[in-house]
Homo-oligomer: A and B are copies of this chain.
Amino acid sequence: MAKKDCPIENTLKLINGKWKSVIIYQISKYAPCRFSELQKLIPDCSKRMLALQLKDLEEASIIQKRVYSTVPPKTEYSLTEVGKSLVPVIKSINQWGKKYTKK
C-alpha cells in the first residue's frame, strides 16, 4: 500500500483523535446539538478537546456549525451529508463494542 493511499488510515485520520467518532455519533442522535449538550453527552472529553475536535470535524466538512450572536452565545452543530454517510461505519463500531467490550 503506497504512502497516504490507505483508505483505513485516511478514514481514521477523520474519525479518530480520539473523540471524533463519539462526537459524530452523538450529533447524529441529537442534532442540532449545542456545545454544552455535547459536553454533557461526552463528559470524558474536556472542553478544550471538544472545541478542537469540533473545529477539525467542521474543517473536514463532516459537521456544520450555526452560531447565534446572542449573549451568552449559542451554537448548534449538525451533520453534513458526508457526516451522515459515516454514521453506519460508527454504528458498526458501536455494535461491536457492545458485544465485545466489557467495562
Instruction: Tell me whether A6 and B22 are in contact (CB under 8 A).
Output: yes
A100 close to chain B: CB less than 8 A = yes
- Copy number of this protein in the oligomer? 2
Instruction: Tell me whether B94 and A7 are in contact (CB under 8 A).
Output: yes
**From B4, B96, B103, contact of A11 by CB (8 A):** B96
Which B residues are CB-close (under 8 A) to A103? 4-5, 10
Which B residues are CB-close (under 8 A) to A99? 85
Instruction: Tell me whether B97 and A8 are in contact (CB under 8 A).
Output: yes
Q: With contacts A3-B43, A41-B1 known, is A101 near B10, CB below 8 A?
A: yes
Which B residues are CB-close (under 8 A) to A89? 92-93, 96
A11→B15 CA distance, assembly (Å): 13
